[in-house]
Amino acid sequence: MWRVTLRSLWEHKRRLVSTVLAIVLGVAFMSGTFVFADTIDKVFADLFGETRSGVDVQVQGVELFDGGFGGQDARELLDIGLVDEVAAVEGVAVAEPFIQTVGFGSQNRVLGPDGEPLGASAGPPTLIESWVASERLNPYRIATGEPPSSDDEIALNVAAAEDAGYELGDEVRVVSQLGEATYRLVATFTFGEAESAAGAVSADFTLAEAQRLAGLEDRTQVVLAAGDGSVDEEALTQRVASVLPPTAEALTGTEAAELEASDIQEGFGFFRQLLSIFAGIALLVGTFIIANTFAILVAQRTRELALLRAIGAGRRQVLTSVLLEALVIGLVAAVLGLLGGIALATAVTAALEASGADLPTSGLVISATTVVTALVLGLGITLLASVVPAIQATRVPPLAALRDVAVDRSGASKPRIVAGVLLLALGGWSLSSAWRVDEPEVATVGLGALALIVGAIVIGPVLAEPSVRILGAALPRLRGITGVLATENAARSPKRTSATASALLIGVALIGFITVFAASARESVVAEVERGFTGDLIIQSEASGFGPPGGFPPAVADTIAAVDGVETTSRIGFTQAQVTYPDGRAGTQFVQSVDPATLSQAFDARMAVGEVTDLGPGGVLVDVGVAEDNDVDVGDVVLLTGTGGQSVQLEVRALSDDLTLLGFWSIDTADYERLVTERQLVQVIATVSDGADVDVVRADVEAALAGVPAIDVLDRDGFIGSLTDQITSFLTLVNALLALSVIIAMIGIANTLSLSIHERTRELGLLRAVGMTRSQLRSAVRWEAVLISVLGTLVGLALGLVVSSALVRSLESFGLTRFRVPVGQLVVVVLVAGALGVIASIRPARRAARLDVLDAIAVE
């Protein structure tokens, strides 16, 4: 069996290529994601391993709460006196405090001579640190100069200093929560041998200055210690631990390195998951295609299989032969996919390095998990896809050898109709809960969407023929007999057409869903801002992609207030905090700080209970939905704990109902200053005086803020634009990732057509004999492809539309108040799908046109 299978595969090399391609792409995407993520993980593991190589013990505050979505965990701060206590432990040779603040956006940035911040805005961050004197504890090595010894001195890593063109003795401006300050460059340093720590900008100060910049006077984040060699790091760590207060904990240097690396890796874990989802979609689409391909191949080989059976091959042998073929194809796909993934990861890493991220890559990491995943996916999916066709192959009766090959098998079996209708009904009913129920569950809507899509795929073969005929109704008039043939061919094997279109349907449904959803979100946001935003100008950090909002120094608000023509300013700050509810439960939440007195000039927020002005020091304003979910009401007292461990008790004063403008939790600026160690504003909203020209004032504010890096001064339209831009770039990213599954679906269309054309050889020869020109033949194949792709696209879009309308409806309480169908964009999707159909048809059409007439009509 092996020999027969391998030979038959080798004879159809080209078909093999297009068959495996559908799986290769998905596997490549998946394994590429894995390799890249593993490589990045290793980069950071190495980095922190090196950072901590001389550290035996790291003392840090106990965890207060998890930072959530990629954020750093919040920990207790340590009293600076703890350093001496650790140093006094027997066996400790040296102990030093260390403070590090991460900067991006407009705060905690080092400016170049041109006033622009050093480092890429979306790349590695800026690290504002205290210089550690002990060489054993400090991963940095002085390259030139002497470490900072006075509070107006700074040391920079070599790469940052060189990029900016700074020389020792130069003045360097740094923007922190305290505003802008100037330091004298006294040293440059390397990170081990490297000129930067993975591309980060490292700016080091004296301890006192680092404390001041971070808002940590008399405190430190960690204490680093090295032993005198009398005991190992575990023993030393235990000794240190015994002298610590309950708010602190001791880790060995190794553990500390692992912890830091894993914090960063968690952030990348999200990225790994995200990309894996899209790779999964691509693989799902690939599964459809390969299953369809196998089904066609088995159908085409009916006669051959029957012959095998007739000459005495058992059912099992037939099954084995088909499964063997799948095994080989799956193996080839898995290996090629893995290689493709490695190539992909190499390309992405290279692109990242080219864009400025200085990754000290010691080569790609190809873990056993990656290899196993690729093999399991490639092989598993192919085998899975071949099971049904293989079983069908065993059902071929030996007598079929004597009959003509029956290609057209009807798709409308009764169980299929019943299952399809049931699923569609179930999906429809679940989705309709968005309208039927007062507070619809998003999960119900999601399940409904799934049932609807599966139902559509199940019932596809039943509806494929009539749908194709309806779609192609105009073709005969437009394209004459070519159109008739295209329509008839697309309609002739409903199962095939439906499986091919279904592969496309999946990707397009998601694209349609996301597109409509984003358009609705955009429109809702615009509507909310237009209704509620009453300010004239808004000052915020330049959009930094998908990270947390970039902050800027609070002093910026005063600069703005001082500009001529600015009437009022209202500050909005931001932090993460842990909220402890009256019943004792706690959770990490986004909290913003506002000025209640001026807030009403900035915007007219929608309130559920009470007024914005009810908020004052000691009060908190909660979104009504959050309040309901957590059983909180006006008059209740909640405890907010900040990232440094400071906490404030606040009374719920009012309930807001305006996520777009007020978010989940709003507190008074005075309480915010007690809650956080590092203050940052995310927005200042200004109104201009009567008679002043907004454009003029805007220009004046911009001029006044010339020294603040990466900050935008926007009028209403600009603000709306900045919000919609974020949604648009999200949409673009998601659609770009979904494009892969659409491309795979197109490969499926090309595959199906090629196989069908192979099957129709004689028919095509006849057409050519009676006078069909090559271009007419190509045109017929092309229109067949267009029909299939437009069918998949239209059904996909329809599903996407229905699902997004239900989801938008069920998210109304989250501020999604509008449903909008971006007709133009959807038309583009259909046109693109049609065009891709044409592209998919190029090869099969050429093949059809190349057919030799005489060969084709020769009677066997």
Partner 1 sequence: MSISPAPAPPTVAARTERATKVYGSGDTAVTALDEVDVAFDAGRFTAIMGPSGSGKSTLMHCVAGLDSLTGGRVLVGDVDLTTLSDKELTTLRRDRIGFVFQAFNLIPTLNARENITLPLALADRKPDQSWVDEVVATVGLGDRLDHRPAELSGGQQQRVAVARALASRPEIVFADEPTGNLDSSTSAEILHFMRGAVDELGQTIVMVTHDPQSASYAQRVLFLADGAIVDEMADPTAERVLDRMKRFGD
Asked whether the beta carbons of 134 and 113 are under 8 A apart, the reply is no
Between residue 602 and residue 641, which ones bind partner 1 under the rule CB under 8 A? Answer: none
Is the CB of 479 or the CB of 522 nearer to partner 1? Answer: 479
Site string for partner 1, 465-484 (x = CB under 8 A): ---------------xx--x
Nearest approach, Cβ of residue 502 and partner 1 (Å): 22
Rounded to whole angstroms, what are the CA distances from 410 to 169, 302, 470, 497, 783?
84, 16, 18, 12, 22
Nearest approach, Cβ of residue 470 and partner 1 (Å): 17
Where do the H-state alpha helices sit in 493-595? 494-532, 555-561
- Count the residues of the shown chain that bind partner 1, applying the rule CB under 8 A: 24
Is the CB of 87 or the CB of 857 nearer to partner 1? Answer: 857
Stretch that binds partner 1, among 80-88, 93-101, 690-698, 849-857 (CB under 8 A): 849-857
Is the CB of 493 or the CB of 641 nearer to partner 1? Answer: 493
Stretch that binds partner 1, among 222-230, 467-475, 634-642, 763-771 (CB under 8 A): 763-771
Nearest approach, Cβ of residue 384 and partner 1 (Å): 33
Is the CB of 443 or the CB of 854 nearer to partner 1? Answer: 854
Is the CB of 1 or the CB of 474 nearer to partner 1? Answer: 474
Q: Under the criterion CB under 8 A, does residue 758 sit at the interface with partner 1?
A: no
Is the CB of 742 or the CB of 767 nearer to partner 1? Answer: 767
Neighbours of 242 (CB within 10 A): 9
**In the beta sheet, which residues pair with residue 182?**
173
Among residues 18, 126, 489, 541, the one that binds partner 1 under rule CB under 8 A: 489
Stretch that binds partner 1, among 370-378, 526-534, 670-678, 850-858 (CB under 8 A): 850-858
Residues 6+ away with beta carbon under 8 Å from 7: none
Report, in this order, helix, strand and coil percent for the chain, each rounded to 5.
55, 20, 25
Is the CB of 4 or the CB of 854 nearer to partner 1? Answer: 854
Among positive and negative, which fits the CA dihedral 657, 661, 664, 666?
negative
Where do the H-state alpha helices sit in 540-690? 555-561, 596-602, 624-629, 659-662, 669-675
Q: Is 314 helix (H, G, I), strand (E, B) or coil?
A: coil
Is the CB of 348 or the CB of 856 nearer to partner 1? Answer: 856
Is the CB of 536 or the CB of 784 nearer to partner 1? Answer: 784
Is the CB of 127 or the CB of 849 nearer to partner 1? Answer: 849
Is the CB of 833 or the CB of 849 nearer to partner 1? Answer: 849
What's the rounded Cα separation, in Å, for the pair 606 and 655?
9
Nearest approach, Cβ of residue 410 and partner 1 (Å): 13
Q: Which two tokens stand for residue 116?
A: 């622009």
Nearest approach, Cβ of residue 295 and partner 1 (Å): 20
Nearest approach, Cβ of residue 747 and partner 1 (Å): 25
Q: Under the criterion CB under 8 A, does residue 488 sit at the interface with partner 1?
A: yes
Is the CB of 240 or the CB of 781 nearer to partner 1? Answer: 781
Nearest approach, Cβ of residue 335 and partner 1 (Å): 40
Q: Is 484 helix (H, G, I), strand (E, B) or coil?
A: helix
Nearest approach, Cβ of residue 834 and partner 1 (Å): 22
Is the CB of 146 or the CB of 855 nearer to partner 1? Answer: 855
Stretch that binds partner 1, among 246-254, 280-288, 686-694, 852-860 (CB under 8 A): 852-860
Is the CB of 345 or the CB of 772 nearer to partner 1? Answer: 772
Nearest approach, Cβ of residue 481 and partner 1 (Å): 4
Q: Which two tokens stand for residue 720?
A: 């709306």
**Which of 680, 676, 589 is closest to 627 using CA atoms?**
589
What's the rounded Cα separation, in Å, for the pair 840 and 241?
67
Q: Which two tokens stand for residue 172?
A: 């360097």
Nearest approach, Cβ of residue 466 and partner 1 (Å): 15
Nearest approach, Cβ of residue 11 and partner 1 (Å): 23
Asked whether the beta carbons of 248 and 645 are under 8 A apart, the reply is no
What's the rounded Cα separation, in Å, for the pair 752 and 302?
17
Q: Is 191 helix (H, G, I), strand (E, B) or coil?
A: strand
Nearest approach, Cβ of residue 758 and partner 1 (Å): 16
The CA-based angle 29-35-36, given to 5 degrees, is: 85
Among residues 409, 416, 762, 843, the one that binds partner 1 under rule CB under 8 A: 762
Between residue 710 and residue 749, which ones bind partner 1 under the rule CB under 8 A? Answer: none
Site string for partner 1, 798-837 (x = CB under 8 A): ----------------------------------------
Between residue 518 and residue 537, which ones bind partner 1 under the rule CB under 8 A? Answer: none
DSSP notation for 167-197 = -TT-EEEEEETTEEEEEEEEEEEEETTBSSS
Is the CB of 52 or the CB of 768 nearer to partner 1? Answer: 768
Between residue 138 and residue 197, which ones bind partner 1 under the rule CB under 8 A? Answer: none
Among residues 15, 136, 212, 492, the one that binds partner 1 under rule CB under 8 A: 492
Is the CB of 212 or the CB of 469 nearer to partner 1? Answer: 469
Nearest approach, Cβ of residue 849 and partner 1 (Å): 10
Is the CB of 481 or the CB of 827 nearer to partner 1? Answer: 481
Rounded to whole angstroms, what are the CA distances from 672 to 65, 271, 298, 680?
18, 31, 69, 10
Q: Which two tokens stand for residue 135?
A: 């060489």
Site string for partner 1, 426-465 (x = CB under 8 A): ----------------------------------------
Locate tokens 């205290």: which residue? 130
Stretch that binds partner 1, among 156-164, 346-354, 589-597, 764-772 (CB under 8 A): 764-772
User: How many helices (H) and strands (E) in the chain?
Assistant: 26, 26
What's the rounded Cα separation, in Å, for the pair 782 and 761?
17
Nearest approach, Cβ of residue 775 and partner 1 (Å): 8
DSSP notation for 375-417 = HHHHHHHHHHHHHHHHHHHHT--GGGGGSPP--------HHHH
Asked whether the beta carbons of 105 and 123 are under 8 A apart, the reply is no
Nearest approach, Cβ of residue 529 and partner 1 (Å): 57
Between residue 766 and residue 785, which ones bind partner 1 under the rule CB under 8 A? Answer: 766-774, 776
Nearest approach, Cβ of residue 303 and partner 1 (Å): 16
3-7 contacts: CB < 8 A, separation 24 or more? 4/321, 5/321, 5/324, 5/325, 5/328, 6/328
Nearest approach, Cβ of residue 498 and partner 1 (Å): 17
Asked whether the beta carbons of 385 and 23 are under 8 A apart, the reply is no
Element of type H or E holding 714? strand 711-715
Q: Roughly how many angstroms between the first and final C-alpha of the chain, as a whole number? A: 27
DSSP 116: P
Is the CB of 246 or the CB of 771 nearer to partner 1? Answer: 771
Q: Under the criterion CB under 8 A, does residue 657 sit at the interface with partner 1?
A: no
**In the beta sheet, which residues pair with residue 648?**
640
Q: Under the criterion CB under 8 A, does residue 854 sit at the interface with partner 1?
A: yes
**In the beta sheet, which residues pair with residue 641?**
578, 647
Pairing relationship of beta strands 222-227 and 92-98 according to DSSP bridges = antiparallel
**In the beta sheet, which residues pair with residue 763?**
none
Nearest approach, Cβ of residue 491 and partner 1 (Å): 8
Stretch that binds partner 1, among 360-368, 390-398, 510-518, 760-768 (CB under 8 A): 760-768
What's the rounded Cα separation, in Å, for the pair 394 and 383?
16
Query: Would you tell me which residues interact with partner 1 (CB under 8 A)?
Result: 480-481, 484-485, 488-489, 491-492, 762-763, 766-774, 776, 853-854, 857, 859
